[in-house]
């Protein structure tokens, strides 16, 4: 009898829904007003102000939309751009080269991208690249070209975590839309070429982002996680700056295709990704 009484006292929503905990993955090349390479230097004061302004607008929107917790990861170039001094007081800041899988294992209701750029080789993608503009030519999962957006989306999907929002340039937005059509998109600039763009003002970008973040939280539970099923081949073509480690060929699931190309096989995405990351 007392048992039933206890259950009745629990608010129905709290019992049914896990906390809305959001991981916000941040980068630099997709921030409004950032269009030249030297602006992406982590110590650049303009980048820091513009990026932090967009992050805080997103955090504000997430909480307005009903988020319980927001973790902001400083994902750009060595995790040296953001500061706890200026980050939104209700957000928590994750700093350092965190492993993708270790991070996602902590459990989130959703992930979101902010300041995101498109994958390498995309026309009109402002400073588009896949993980490393100097080191990697392209990356493919089961033959499909991917960059940070595709890899994060698929890894998160393997934990059942959906992508609910992307802010960045038009090319990055198009890239996520092809994978997760229901995700909210806040386009803050349009690429004319690799280093040429038409951008919103910081204020207009922040307003757009805040509204999109608010709408995105309402979609938690309705957006399907993006999943890559079955055995996975992760193929990476490095640039000529990269010297292949000849010992790689003896590792299980690793195939050296040519002087600059390696394939990592796995029974699923996580295994293929681990073989690449811990090589």
* Residues contributing to the site for Zn ion (CB under 5 A): 27
Give the residue from 233, 223, 242 showing the smallest Cα distance to 176. 223
Closer residue to Zn ion (CB): 116 or 208 = 116
Least distance to Zn ion from the beta carbon of 97, Å?
13
Least distance to Zn ion from the beta carbon of 54, Å?
15
Position of minimal CB gap to Zn ion: 27
Give the dihedral sign, CA 5/8/14/18: positive
Closer residue to Zn ion (CB): 104 or 136 = 136
Nearest-angstrom CA–CA distance, 72 and 70: 6
Q: Are 213 and 65 in contact (CB under 8 A)?
A: yes
Nearest-angstrom CA–CA distance, 126 and 117: 7
Closer residue to Zn ion (CB): 115 or 266 = 115
Least distance to Zn ion from the beta carbon of 197, Å?
16
Q: Where are any strands of DSSP class E within 154-253?
A: 163-169, 184-193, 196-199, 232-238
- DSSP 8-state symbol, 162: P
Closer residue to Zn ion (CB): 27 or 60 = 27
Least distance to Zn ion from the beta carbon of 132, Å?
9
Closer residue to Zn ion (CB): 61 or 115 = 115
Closer residue to Zn ion (CB): 27 or 169 = 27
Least distance to Zn ion from the beta carbon of 273, Å?
16
Nearest-angstrom CA–CA distance, 132 and 230: 27
The Cβ of residue 245 has, within 10 Å, a number of other Cβ atoms equal to 12
Least distance to Zn ion from the beta carbon of 225, Å?
22
Q: Give 104's contacts (C-beta < 8 A, 6+ positions apart).
A: 23, 111, 155, 156, 159, 161
Distances (CA, A) of 179 to 102, 158, 238: 23, 14, 24
Q: Are 112 and 180 in contact (CB under 8 A)?
A: no
Closer residue to Zn ion (CB): 199 or 214 = 199
Which helix (H) or strand (E) segment holds residue 138: the answer is strand 136-141
Least distance to Zn ion from the beta carbon of 183, Å?
18
């Amino acid at each position: 009898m007392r048992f039933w009484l206890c259950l009745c006292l629990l608010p129905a929503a709290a019992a049914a829904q896990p906390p809305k905990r959001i991981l916000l993955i941040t980068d630099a090349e997709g921030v409004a007003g950032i269009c030249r390479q030297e602006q992406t230097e982590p110590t650049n004061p303009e980048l820091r102000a513009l990026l932090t302004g967009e992050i805080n607008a997103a955090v504000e929107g997430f909480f307005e939309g009903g988020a319980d917790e927001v973790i902001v990861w400083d994902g750009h170039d060595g995790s040296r751009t953001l500061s706890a001094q200026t980050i939104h007081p209700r957000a928590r800041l994750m700093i350092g080269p965190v492993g993708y899988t270790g991070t996602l294992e902590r459990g989130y209701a959703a992930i979101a991208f902010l300041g995101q750029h498109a994958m390498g080789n995309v026309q009109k993608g402002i400073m588009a690249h896949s993980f490393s503009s100097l080191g990697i030519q392209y990356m493919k999962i089961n033959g499909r070209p991917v960059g940070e957006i595709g890899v994060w989306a698929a890894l998160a999907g393997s934990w059942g975590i959906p992508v609910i929002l992307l802010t960045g340039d038009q090319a990055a937005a198009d890239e996520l839309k092809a994978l997760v059509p229901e995700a909210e998109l806040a386009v803050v600039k349009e690429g004319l070429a690799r280093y040429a763009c038409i951008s919103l003002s910081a204020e207009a970008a922040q307003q757009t982002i805040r509204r999109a973040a608010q709408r995105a939280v309402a979609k938690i539970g309705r957006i399907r996680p993006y999943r890559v099923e079955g055995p996975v081949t992760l193929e990476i073509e490095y640039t000529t700056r990269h010297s292949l480690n000849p010992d790689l060929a003896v590792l299980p699931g690793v195939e050296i295709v040519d002087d600059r190309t390696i394939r990592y096989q796995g029974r699923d995405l996580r295994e293929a990704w681990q073989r690449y990351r811990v090589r």
